[in-house]
Structure 1
Amino acid sequence: MATIAVCAPVGARSHDAPADPAVMPEITAPAAYMVDVNSGRVLFARDAQRRFVPASLTKIMTSYVAFELIASGKLRLDQSFVMRPETFRQWHGVGSTMFLGNNSRTTVADLLEGIVTVSANDACIVLAEGIAGSVPAFTAMMNAEVRKLGMRNTHYNTPNGWMDQGQTYVSAADLATLSTALITRHGDLYRRFYGHERAAFNGIEQQNHNPLYGHTAGADGVKTGFTGEAGYGFVGSVARDGRRIIFVLGGYPRPVERTEQSRRFAEWGFAAWDSHPIVGAGVKLGTAPVQGGTARSVDLIAPRGYSITVPHGEGPHYTLAIRYRAPLTAPIARGDEVASLIVRAPGQPIERLPLVAARDVRVGGALDRLRDGFAAMIKPAMIKR
């Protein structure tokens, strides 16, 4: 994103009158960030690139890696992994837990439920070892996804966020990027495993510590985190009327501030800003030339609905443009991000939203290469006329 819109917090309001949700609430978290997912507009940022210790916010990436493997057919929800005796000795009853038994086998689906809903440290290790063979091999997969997503201020040394002298670190902006990818790339899996207020396993029911659940309409994620090293952090997601906001709050000294401020912050994101749809999901916005493929071009479509976000009461004024590196090169898979939709609006940062290929374009054969070469030869003559 070209620039970040920064809003300064105002002082706390009197408790004698109800708080106006459209007035910026007091946010005391050292790191804070809010983005409107549909438009990409940053609504608030404080030290958004600052590196901090995430604690259990790490588990968002753990679930993302699993979702990526499930989507690609490399992992099944009905697969089961064993709690090795060595793992049991190290992680049984440590922090938040599913109380997995020694030598027990647990399905991927149950492990993910435990990781997402009750923040189970033991489940993270069992999942990591089951997928990759070891924790270091799994964290290497996590860091590979960090690079793919462009998370510049993030590194993972553990799949559960347990204290490791700062070797695991994130930024608020990076956590928002990750959470946006989690939800937009894996909506079905996100809806299956996130948004649960409680979970039961082996007869033990535990509550989710998400401060929005039961209080904030449309809240469906994402994750809380706490260690003595990290303080209290939270990544929140709220969806209403087709609009979604994601926000990150990191480093609170006490949970009460995290709870109260996150609820007010979420309401402000909706009350102080209006969202105006500009492009529907699946709408074709252009066509890009393809080199070396079975087709000479591919349609560019919006993978989800996009909007423009403006302060409450303002009308939307914007221009749209498409940008890509021409020509695209085969092979291209349907859904690959191959271009950007550039949204320009007065007084706002330029937003770059992904556009994807509408179809597969396989690598072409000899005749396709001959066709491309012939087209390149005759194009200048056509222009001269």
Structure 2
Amino acid sequence: MFKKNSLLIAYIFFFNSIAYSQIIIPDKVRQGIVIEHFNGNVLAEKNADQKISPASMTKIMSAIIVFDQLKNKKIKLTDQFVVSKNARNATRSGESSMFLVPGDKVSVEELLRGLIITSGVDASIVLAEGIAGSEEQFTNLMNEKAQIINMANTKFSNSSGTFSPDNYSTVRDIALLSSYLINNYPQYYKYFKEKDFLWIRTGGNPIKQENRNTLLFTDQEVDGIKTGHLKDSKYSIAVTKKKDNRRIIVVISGLPTMSSRAESSRLLLNNSLSKIDLFKIPYDKDKFKIKIWNGSSNYLDVRGTNKDAIFINLPKNLKNPKIRTELVYEYPLQIPIKKFEKVAILKIYNNKDLIDTQELFAQKDITNKNIFFKGIQNISHYILQ
């Protein structure tokens, strides 16, 4: 049974065999996944469930925890957190830094920019300590959130992504995390497309640092998300491009160089948009309706995870597609039925070929019918047999 919030956040990655064959992940990529954000379909994958060190892609989750706090009005962007010695000393040589000074008071918004744009280890720790009291307590929030988002193969042990055998994920889980970010925090997502950040620090000249996502500078339709680099996982990135009514998310890891990371992610983004179409199946009221026996309503409307329509992917070179759908469910459905409970499967065919399946969910609660009317309905049923 799906709880109410599951409908809003759960993206089920279905295998779309026709679309999948059109996109090839480069050999240089150790682990990779390409998804269509609006329906969650996997367009290509390679070792997508293999454990990786997420490196600074960890900071996507750290930012989400901050966004949660802002949404719940526990903190404000203008609030200031004190920089601890621990936050400054935790940044090792060669690691990204916002160059914070112990004792300084820095606003949440500036720290967010330092976390997201400059990828500062110090910024991540100041935010963690300011919100949860310690980085350890903050990572507990991160892991609780990972469970809510259904990141099945992820564990966080720090807020910055510095190497730890206990800080791990998969490219599939990072793609899921990226979809959640875009879906739930449009008002804060803007920080991920900022190209640079000027930090007017205490006791020194202002420092301007550029975003390490080089695709932001070369493609106006790329608007995020986060790069990463560690010795074991090498160069990685979660990147997304929005064009017209589509958004593609690419997560790749294990690239040998920054340039190969940019080249591979650009190729996957552009190929997904040029070779694959997003096909819309509107919600026909008659087709997306289930007959109910002995319930408080005679019919139940059902919908997929996208409230506007069902979206599937098809190759652009597919000749004369003839799309048809088949609603599959057990009759009679067992009552009571809770709103957003999974109740059916939509099978989608092109001609005779099954090309996709989508889970469908109840759009309202169904309770047992009044016992008097239930008896009349049962009698009528047997008379008419």
* Contact map agreement 1:32 1:45 (CA 8 A) in 2: yes
Counterpart amino acid of residue 214 in structure 1: F
Unpaired runs of at least 5, structure 2: 1-12, 201-205
Which residue pairs with 2:315 in the alignment? 311
For the residue of structure 1 that corresponds to 2:44, the secondary structure is strand
Q: Deviations over 1:313-363 (max 9, x none)?
A: 32362426487985344xx7xxx78778745234566443676968xx9xx
Summarize the alignment of residues 15-34 of structure 1 with structure 2, pairs less than 5 Å apart.
24=24, 26-34=26-34
Describe the shift of the 1:384–1:132 C-alpha distance in structure 2 as closer, same or farther (beyond 3 A): farther
Which residue pairs with 2:129 in the alignment? 129
Q: Deviations over 1:282-302 (max 9, x none)?
A: xx966999xxx9x99997664
Q: Does 1:238 align with 2:217?
A: no
Which residue pairs with 1:172 in the alignment? 171
- Give me the identity figure in percent: 25
Q: Give TM-score scaled by structure 2 length.
A: 0.78
Which residue pairs with 2:185 in the alignment? 186
CA RMSD of aligned residues (A): 3.7
Query: Which residue, 278, 283, 289 being the options, matches 1:275?
Result: 278
Summarize the alignment of residues 198-347 of structure 1 with structure 2, pairs less than 5 Å apart.
198-202=196-200, 203-279=206-282, 302-303=306-307, 306-314=310-318, 315=321, 317-319=323-325, 321=327, 327-329=336-338, 342=346, 344-346=348-350, 347=353
Shift in Å, 1:279: 4.1
Shift in Å, 1:185: 1.9
Q: Does 1:352 align with 2:351?
A: no
For the residue of structure 2 that corresponds to 1:68, the secondary structure is helix
Counterpart amino acid of residue 50 in structure 1: Q
* Contact map agreement 1:62 1:160 (CA 8 A) in 2: yes
For the residue of structure 2 that corresponds to 1:158, the secondary structure is coil
Q: Deviations over 1:188-222 (max 9, x none)?
A: 221x3221111112132111111311223410111
For the residue of structure 2 that corresponds to 1:188, the secondary structure is coil
Describe the shift of the 1:122–1:319 C-alpha distance in structure 2 as closer, same or farther (beyond 3 A): same
* Contact map agreement 2:19 2:276 (CA 8 A) in 1: no
Q: Deviations over 1:354-374 (max 9, x none)?
A: 76968xx9xxxxxxx998677
Describe the shift of the 1:120–1:357 C-alpha distance in structure 2 as closer, same or farther (beyond 3 A): farther
Number of residues of Structure 1 aligned to a counterpart in Structure 2? 353
Q: Deviations over 1:73-113 (max 9, x none)?
A: 33332322221233333338761111122122222222222
Counterpart amino acid of residue 327 in structure 1: P
Counterpart amino acid of residue 315 in structure 2: P
Describe the shift of the 1:276–1:102 C-alpha distance in structure 2 as closer, same or farther (beyond 3 A): same
* Contact map agreement 1:35 1:245 (CA 8 A) in 2: yes
Shift in Å, 1:253: 1.8
Shift in Å, 1:130: 1.3
Q: Give TM-score scaled by structure 1 length.
A: 0.78
Deviates more, 1:101-110 or 1:345-354: 345-354
* Contact map agreement 1:276 1:308 (CA 8 A) in 2: yes
Deviates more, 1:317-326 or 1:199-208: 317-326
Counterpart amino acid of residue 348 in structure 2: R
